[in-house]
Structure 1
Amino acid sequence: MLGNYLIGLREGLEASLVVTILVAYLVKSDRRHLLPRIWGGVALAILVSLGFGALLTYGPRGLTFQAQEAIGGTLSIVAVAFVTWMIFWMARAARSLSGELRGQIDRAADGGRWSLVIVAMLAVGREGLETALFLWAATQTATGAHTVSTVPAWQPITGALLGLATAVLLGYLLYRGAVKINLAKFFTWTGAFLIVVAAGVLGYGFHDLQEAGILPGLNNLAFDVSGTIDEGSWYGAVLKGVFNFSPQTTVLQATVWTVYLVVTMTFFLRGVRRRGRPQASTAVASRDKQPA
């Protein structure tokens, strides 16, 4: 539940920031009459995201077990690819996001009637589709779609909805100026946590492909701690729901989890340090230029 809450919070806050920038720029540029087009695009993006989520949830039903596992494993890997790209893109583009959106608004406002609707729909819809795909993959992993699971199906969904609701509230408060958040630190911490969550989703995706018979090694276990860790206990539920931990983990699943986590986290933290150095250097330079 905590993992899905943070997914909903981070993705929802990104979408909320986009909407906040769009609305605030139109208001400050005295173009309030164009606001309904923005809200129309946001509504379309939400509908498309909900439809995509429903397709992911109900589409594979009626297929064979192997086909469902193959689809689930493939989509889990795709979801991890998208969320990894999103984490690194947001870390790089956060500072220039506002300027890019304002430029798109100016061009769309001078265009046709549907231009602003399309801009808003694409800006928010991208976040919505990524959220739907990754939440579906994380929920499938946490609840164990075809196995006995100790995590109720409503918990991941509730966590995601609470995260989205919190993001909408924060977006509104940011727009009203009632709260200020260090977005750099926020996206750094949540990005690092999502990498851990994504590692579990990726490992489980490969496990699904093993169960589908596409990849070998289903019975080649790296460890089996099912006799030690009770999945029905509170800590078992936390490990499953947050980190997608499985007491019976195959060698391939453990290898994929470890390689992804180490490599992705290393590059992510290096990028964070690299972006922090110019600020420190600029601060020192400006201090040295001050007269004694």
Structure 2
Amino acid sequence: MLANYLIGLREGLEAALVVGILVAYLVKVDRRDVLPRLWAGVAAAVVLSLGFGALLTFGAYGLTFQAQEIIGGGLSVVAVAFVTWMVFWMARTARSMRGELESSLDRALAGGAWAVVVLGVVSVGREGLETALFVWATVQSTGGGDAPVLGALLGILTAVAIEVLIFRGVVRVDLRRFFAVTGYLLVVVAAGVLAYGVGDLQEAGVLPGRTALAFDVSAAVPPTSWWGTLLQGLVNFTATPSWLQVAAWLAYLAVVLPLFTAATRGPRRAPRASGTADAVDPDAAATDPSTTAPTTAGAPR
């Protein structure tokens, strides 16, 4: 549940930040008449994400065991690829996200009503589809149940509440630190999902070595115990992994963690010119996750 809460919180906050920036910009340029179109696009993105989640959940019924394992393993690998791309994308582009969104909105306003609707669908739908896919993969790896879905829903609701508080200027969030910490946690979760996907593909006979177990700690960490359930929910821990699963888990972390560390550090800032140390551009502050300024700075109070 906690891993899915983290997924919902991070993806939900990204989507909420995008919507907050777009809404603030429309208010700033006195185009409140376009807000209904933007909200229509956001609503369409939510419906699309829910439909995608339903398709993943119910679409495999009636298939053979092998087909279900192939689909489950393949989608788990795809989910890991999406989440990995997402954490690196945020690390690289968070500084310029506000400017890019405002430029896209300017083009959409020039293109008419449908362009604004499409912008809303694309901006929020990407986060929604990623959330649906990764939550589905983690639910599959933990054996199903309502708790993982509830965790994701609570995470999304928390993200919406945080964005509302940021928009109103009630709280200030160090977004760079937030996305860095959650990025590290999601990398560890993704490694577990990758190992689970490899296990599914081994069960289907696509990959070899399912019976070659690296270790068996089911006696020390029973899967039905509270600590076994906790480890499974947090990092997709399995007590009887194959050597290929362990190799995939280790290889993923060995490659992704150093690269993500380098991406989150980023280039050092040039020193400020004399006399400007205390000057802060509200829009720049809103774009830069290393600051604690509200992301909707620039909107009328």
- Give the TM-score, by structure 2 length: 0.89
Residue 167 of structure 1: which of 151, 159, 162 is its match? Answer: 159
Equivalence for 1:233: 225
Matched position secondary structure for 1:215: coil
- Give, as a single letter, the amino acid of the residue that structure 2 aligns with 1:10: R
Whole-Å separation in 2 of the counterparts to 1:38 and 1:215: 45
Residue 282 of structure 1: which of 252, 264, 271 is its match? Answer: 271
Equivalence for 2:91: 91
Determine whether 1:28 maps to 2:18: no
Question: 4+ runs of 1 displaced by more than 6 Å?
Answer: none
61 and 31 in structure 1: CA distance in 2 versus 1, 3 angstrom threshold: same
Whole-Å separation in 1 of the counterparts to 2:271 and 2:177: 19
Deviations 1:8-50 (A, max 9, x none): 0000000000000010000111111110001000000000000
Map 1:1-292; keep pairs closer than 5 Å.
1-143=1-143, 153-273=145-265, 275=266, 277-279=267-269, 282=271
Whole-Å separation in 1 of the counterparts to 2:134 and 2:255: 20
CA RMSD, aligned part only?
1.4
- Give, as a single letter, the amino acid of the residue that structure 1 aligns with 2:90: M
Question: Once the 2 structures are TM-superposed, how far is the Cα of residue 112 of structure 1 from its aligned partner?
Answer: 2.2
Matched position secondary structure for 2:241: strand
Whole-Å separation in 2 of the counterparts to 1:200 and 1:28: 44
> How many residue pairs are counted as aligned between the two chains?
276
Which structure's residues are more often helix, by fraction? 1
34-43 or 175-184, larger mean C-alpha shift: 175-184
Deviations 1:102-154 (A, max 9, x none): 111111111122110001110000111111111100111112x6xxxxxxx11
Whole-Å separation in 2 of the counterparts to 1:259 and 1:247: 19
Equivalence for 2:282: none
- Give, as a single letter, the amino acid of the residue that structure 2 aligns with 1:223: F
- Give, as a single letter, the amino acid of the residue that structure 2 aligns with 1:211: E
Gaps of 5+ in 2: 278-301
Gaps of 5+ in 1: 146-152
Matched position secondary structure for 1:45: helix
Whole-Å separation in 1 of the counterparts to 2:157 and 2:112: 33
Whole-Å separation in 1 of the counterparts to 2:169 and 2:32: 19
Matched position secondary structure for 1:248: coil
- Give, as a single letter, the amino acid of the residue that structure 2 aligns with 1:86: M
Question: Once the 2 structures are TM-superposed, how far is the Cα of residue 286 of structure 1 from its aligned partner?
Answer: 5.9
Whole-Å separation in 2 of the counterparts to 1:35 and 1:176: 18
Whole-Å separation in 2 of the counterparts to 1:286 and 1:258: 48
Identical columns (%): 58
Equivalence for 1:150: none
Whole-Å separation in 1 of the counterparts to 2:160 and 2:29: 24
Whole-Å separation in 1 of the counterparts to 2:154 and 2:216: 34
- Give, as a single letter, the amino acid of the residue that structure 2 aligns with 1:63: L
